[in-house]
């Protein structure tokens, strides 16, 4: 993959990850009872929506350097967050995880995100505007990480640092696993697309023998046709 397309791909995936986080935080906000938590999750969701928008605006700029055929592949469609696994089909994390695990998830993922964004920066060494935007997003992620840490220390003071390390490495592995799954999916798609086309072509051959004039509705009284008719 060429560098420009590779940059578009990274921005595209990151925008989905940010959008997935925004939905997760909004779901948590809806379930929270304490005012401070409602406000905290709401502000976090708002930040993640802003991050999504910012990454998409960099992607839009990047799209101008790509051919139309390639740029089309990076059109952001919201449902992609579910299809790509950034949001689980089983439900939002606040619904499927215990509160302690949920906060540990935020704690570790904000760090992972900050780390991932530093890798994105290498694509935009000559673009000061995009670099500044990504730096400001990285600052936000560290702030989110700090907020989750504070929450942890307040409500789970007996948790050991090694337990947070375990959470962190589990999420690193999960993240790598998701990327690996998606890469495999892309390879399988490339392998199977010609097979799908061949099968569709073979299925279409006997259809050519059908007299399609039978299917014409012109000058036919549709009320005279049997209700079982395909017409
Ligand atoms: Fe974010
Ligand atoms: Fe965040």
No. of helices (H) and no. of strands (E), the chain = 8, 0
Residue 176 Cα to ligand 1 midpoint, Å, equals 18
Give mean pLDDT, residues 197-215: 76
Cα 164 from Cα 70, distance rounded (Å): 41
* Statement: 3-194 belongs to CATH 1.10.3720.10: no
Q: Please tell me the predicted confidence (pLDDT) of residue 205.
A: 79
Higher pLDDT, 187 or 10: 10
Nearest ligand, CA 117:
1
Domain ranges of the chain: 3-194
- Report how far residue 62's alpha carbon sits from residue 75's, in angstroms, rounded to the nearest whole number: 12
Q: How far apart are CA 84 and CA 74, in angstroms?
A: 13
Residue 231 has pLDDT above 60, yes or no: no
Q: Which residues surround ligand 2, an ion (CB under 5 A)?
A: 110, 141, 144
pTM: 0.74
Q: How far lies 35's CA from each of 71, 156, 185, in Å?
A: 43, 20, 43
- For residue range 130-175, list pLDDT tens digits in order: 999 999 999 999 999 888 888 888 888 776 667 777 777 777 777 7
Ligand nearest to the CA of 111: 2
Spacing, Cα 198 to ligand 1 middle (Å): 43
Q: Please determine, for residue 4, whether its predicted confidence score (pLDDT) is greater than 60.
A: yes
Ligand 1 centroid to residue 197 C-alpha, Å: 40
pLDDT band at 178; cut points 50, 70, 90: low
Residue 9 burial (C-beta neighbours within 10 Å; 0-12, 13-18, 19+): middle
- Side-chain half-sphere exposure of 86, counting CA atoms within 13 A: 20
Give the Å distance between the CA of 111 and the centre of ligand 2.
9
């Amino acid at each position: 993959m060429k560098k420009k397309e590779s940059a578009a791909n990274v921005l595209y995936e990151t925008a989905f990850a940010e959008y997935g986080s925004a939905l997760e935080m909004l779901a948590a906000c809806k379930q929270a009872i304490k005012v401070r938590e409602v406000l905290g999750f709401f502000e976090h969701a708002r930040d993640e929506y802003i991050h999504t928008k910012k990454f998409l605006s960099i992607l839009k700029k990047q799209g101008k350097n790509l051919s139309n055929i390639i740029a089309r592949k990076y059109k952001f469609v919201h449902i992609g967050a579910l299809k790509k696994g950034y949001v689980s089909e089983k439900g939002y994390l606040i619904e499927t995880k215990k509160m302690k695990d949920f906060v540990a998830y935020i704690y570790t993922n904000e760090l992972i995100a900050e780390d991932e964004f530093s890798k994105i920066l290498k694509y935009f060494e000559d673009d000061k505007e995009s670099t500044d935007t990504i730096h400001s997003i990285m600052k936000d992620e560290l702030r989110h990480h700090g907020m989750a840490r504070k929450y942890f220390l307040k409500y789970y003071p007996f948790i050991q640092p090694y337990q947070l390390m375990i959470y962190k490495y589990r999420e690193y592995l999960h993240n790598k696993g998701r990327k690996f799954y998606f890469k495999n999916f892309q390879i399988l798609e490339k392998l199977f697309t010609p097979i799908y086309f061949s099968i569709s072509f073979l299925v279409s051959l006997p259809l050519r023998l059908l007299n399609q004039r039978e299917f014409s509705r012109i000058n036919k009284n549709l009320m005279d046709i049997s209700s079982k008719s395909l017409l």
